[in-house]
A and B are shown apart, each in its own frame.
Chain A
Amino acid sequence: MSGPAVEYLTARLRGAFATLLRALATAGRALDPLAIDHLTVARLYVVFGTVAGLWGATDAMALRAEALTPGPGIWPAETYAGFFTTHGVTMLFFFATPVSFGLASAVLPRLVGSDRMAFPRLHALGFWLLPPGLLVARAPALLDLLADVGLLGFRVRPPVVGWTLYTPLSVQAGTGVDLLLVGLSLASLSSILGAMVVFVTVFEERTVPWARLDLFTWSMLVASVLVLFAFPVLESAIVVLLSDRMLGTGHFAPPGGPMAFQHLFWFFGHPEVYVLVLPSMGVLSYVMPRFAGRRLFGERAVVYSTLALGVLSFGVWGHHMFVTGVDPRVTASFMAVTLAVALPSAIKTFAWLTTLWNGAIRLEPPMLFCLGAVAWFVVGGVTGVLLASIPVDVVYHGTYYVVAHFHFMLVGMVAFGLFAGGYYWFPLLTGRKIDARLARAHFWLSMLGVKVTFGALLALGLDGLPRRMATYPVRFAPMQTVATLGAFVLGVAQLVFVWAVVRALLVGDPAGDDPWDLRDRAVEAREWSSR
């Protein structure tokens, strides 16, 4: 190569290196790990949760790709099991919870009439526990991949125990479970800190009287109480499980240990469902009236139903254990309490629908997602009521019916609710407006994806197909294919969301101080008026 060419290349490389260094430096300043103001921490929570959600969604896509063919397909059975473990853990602990707390961190101070969250440093610490938690929890799969391509001399098998970590499997499984438990422990500690901050903010920083407190704040308050009671139990179970695995103790050893673990796990696990669903319910109760042009119907009843859900959520964990041989008199009581959950849920649904009645409805993206969430909540709720009945649960336990039910709740209700909140408060978080056309495409594709995917899974479950199996009999293939097609549509819908966000951040119009035109509609919107 001639001299000038070498000089040119050297100069270009030097320039590229300098640009890279500058970019890293500016990225470091933008992330600002020492920032403790509530809006910055909120942004960190939401961005982290979104990234984790996308990572968890790739697990789902991998699972659905495998289920496309009845026989062994894309992945070995062990990898498939690893995917459904990391999918569950990532979505529950690192996507839904952080995004809920992120949205709360952004708006709660404004809604309660404060200018900050309580304990700002603890608040920031709560966030900074999450990234290492996610990396450690997902490290086994990454290390396994590195070993596969020859970059690592040793192998750490990914955990294949499911997000429920049932013993004795989780005691006997490989070292990947240790990393998963440490990651979960960090996530759970982060949730406890976040809940503490929310709880104290509402009680100590609040200047708005209780009677005028909005529904989102009520929901976050109850969710934070649930975290404070439930997550320490998970934390304890994790420590004991680690002790069984690493120190050779036998707390969860058969015969009674596995049952003890399940009791501990589900005492945390079922309230966790409400930790996830209550913020979304709060978003719906808060956002829908703003696009229906009227106050929430039966506001007081909705607050009481939120409190009732919080209380009842601690009395239903046994319904996850109907087939474990628990005394029928005990399971009957769990069935009764589980069925009772339908009442406050129905009150909320009734309130949302009657709020729409004769309202001046505006189908803006947040409202669309609210309406979608109500629809899927009804489907998820009705399928859940059936599962609450012991005879039905015995038949459908461990089938795709259960998978469909909780995905209608967690994707249809929780994720849709978070999207509604995300779109509604996007201008607050970023100062930009999001492209409504892309948001609508995101909504309709997500509706289609949820309907097709989980509708097909519901049909598979009704036909008796067990869940968590990489292979299955050929007769189930048609519905599995339909479910995979729907899942891929749901997947590309989320790419539209990501693109809409990136586009808005880069070239979106400034949001102004009344981005949803609420001022002239006589609807109180404290978060905008206090900007």
Chain B
Amino acid sequence: MTLLSTARSVAVRVRPYLPAERVVVARAFDCALGAAAWFVPAWLLTVGTPLPVIGVFGGLWLVLGRPEHGRRLLAAAGLDATAVRHALAVAGVTVWTLAPIVAPLSGVPVWAWFYLGVLGIAPYGGRGSRPDALTVLLGSALGPLLALVALTPLLAAGGLVAGLQTVFAITAALGVLSLSLGVPRRPLAVPTLSLAALTERVERLSRADRRLLLADGWTRGGLALVGPVFVAFSIQRLGDGMGEGAAVVAACLALGVVAAATVHRLLPRLRAASVWTPPTLAVGGLVVSTTAPLAVLLAPATPLAFAGTFLAVGVGQAGWTVLADEVDAVLGDHHATYRAARAVGLALAASVGGVLFAVDPAVAFVLASAAGVVGTGNYLRRVAA
């Protein structure tokens, strides 16, 4: 029993530093949901959902995923208790699991069930459940990374449809487990918004600061055009059917997560290195946002090329953080209102992106890059000024 005694003594020593099992399980649920969420538009595309509907779906998620909208909605409906939010997210992912089955029986199209599910999932606010998870997970990439790594063989074995449905089912089970263990309390912070105050603040901004907002709006708008279909289009390019590329894209996303996490670990040191480092990082991030859509469109359809693209996107996340910090600094207390307003704009961009993608993927991706160029130009003019 020496082994057990040794293990016991180690366990007693490390116990104070370990998170409780309910925290671990809740985090596992978040990460599984976040990993699955990347592939939802691709899944919808595979089962024949019209592209504009996918665009609107992405837009809806962008809006509801923002605490300024989703949480306010929950609070208004009296559903703001942590356990209720969690239960709604579990119900949402259960609806997603059942959607392909219920749709033919009910006569309601499958995408409508996904819309219903996202109403529960998007406002949940789990760290891994947002569509822009890469920017959120920076400090702790292990969970999302593990989730994506676990997802890869399932997608490889079952293809996108069966593989992802299995992931939904596992995620729902994890959610039920998390509920049964007790959900860690996350206080619901509902930001106060005032559009009039934001307008007043923006009017008083210098020309250079306005250029910053323009840069932010253009580049994020460009990305939002193709954001919901970015993964779907990558999968489409990598394989003849939607199943073959899914596992490769999952692996590429995992690579992107590692890159993002690594760069963010270095970010404080990079920022302190020189006065020119932050703007250089921001420009780097914007350049990535400009070139990534083009890269997905034009790069050879090989796993290596796509891995490079996702790696660059991961590294570029550092630039986005710098940019977001600059915007917050410029707007002061009004940044929540700005983000809320921006989310509505981005939702519109995502919806338009769906239509453009339906016309021709090249149109959507080239326009996304063009918007990125305009945004980068504005930022460079600000820096030059």
Contacts and interface: CB of A to CB of B under 8 A. Distances in A.
Nearest to B105: A478
A478 B101 contact: yes
Interface string A495-507: 1100100010111
A69 B162 contact: yes
Interface in A1-43: 23, 26-27, 29-30
Nearest to B176: A489
B177 A445 contact: yes
Contacts of A166: none
Contacts of A445: 176-177, 180
A478 B15 contact: no
Given A69-B161, A474-B104, A485-B169, A74 B6 contact: no
A506 B7 contact: yes
* Chain A contact patch, size range: 35 or more
B172 interface: yes
Interface in A488-526: 488-489, 491-493, 495-496, 499, 503, 505-507
Contact of A74 (B2, B162, B176): B162
Given A23-B3, A65-B158, A68-B166, A441 B8 contact: no
Contact of B169 (A484, A493, A506, A507): A484
A74 B177 contact: no
A29 B1 CA distance: 8
Contacts of A507: 8, 11-12, 15
A128 to B, nearest CB: 19
Nearest to A493: B177
B176 A27 contact: no
A482 B169 CA distance: 9
A437 B181 CA distance: 8
Interface in A50-103: 65, 68-69, 73-75
Contacts of B163: 74
Contacts of A26: 2-3, 6
Nearest to A503: B21
Interface string A453-490: 00000000000000000000010011001101100110
Given A441-B181, A506-B8, A68 B165 contact: yes
Contact of B173 (A73, A74, A488): A488
Interface of chain A, helix or strand or loop or mixed?
A: helix
B11 A444 contact: no
A147 interface: no
Interface residues of B, number: 36
B176 A492 contact: yes
A495 B176 CA distance: 13
B157 A75 contact: yes
A29 B3 CA distance: 8
Contacts of B94: 485
A30 B2 contact: yes
Contact of A489 (B2, B15, B105, B177): B177
Contacts of B176: 445, 448, 489, 492
Interface string B305-336: 00000000000000000000000000000000
B169 A68 contact: yes
Contacts of B162: 65, 68-69, 73-74
B177 A27 contact: no
A491 B100 CA distance: 23
Given A26-B6, A73-B162, A481 B180 contact: no
A505 B11 CA distance: 10
Nearest to A65: B166
A488 B15 CA distance: 29
B84 interface: no
B180 A30 contact: no
Contacts of B23: none
A240 interface: no
Contacts of A264: none
B146 interface: no
A478 B180 contact: no
A495 B21 CA distance: 11
Contacts of B158: 65, 69, 73-74
B385 interface: no
A125 interface: no
B270 interface: no
Contacts of A478: 98, 101-102, 105
Contacts of A496: 177, 181
A438 interface: yes
A378 B151 CA distance: 39
B189 to A, nearest CB: 29
13 contacts: A68-B166, A73-B158, A445-B177, A478-B102, A485-B97, A488-B172, A488-B173, A492-B173, A492-B176, A499-B21, A505-B8, A506-B8, A506-B11
The 9 closest A-B pairs by CB, nearest first: A506-B11, A488-B173, A73-B162, A74-B158, A478-B101, A26-B3, A492-B177, A69-B162, A30-B3
Given A478-B105, A492-B176, A496-B177, 20 more contacts: A26-B3, A29-B2, A68-B165, A73-B158, A74-B154, A74-B166, A441-B181, A444-B180, A445-B177, A477-B101, A478-B98, A481-B98, A481-B165, A484-B169, A489-B177, A493-B177, A495-B177, A505-B8, A506-B12, A507-B12
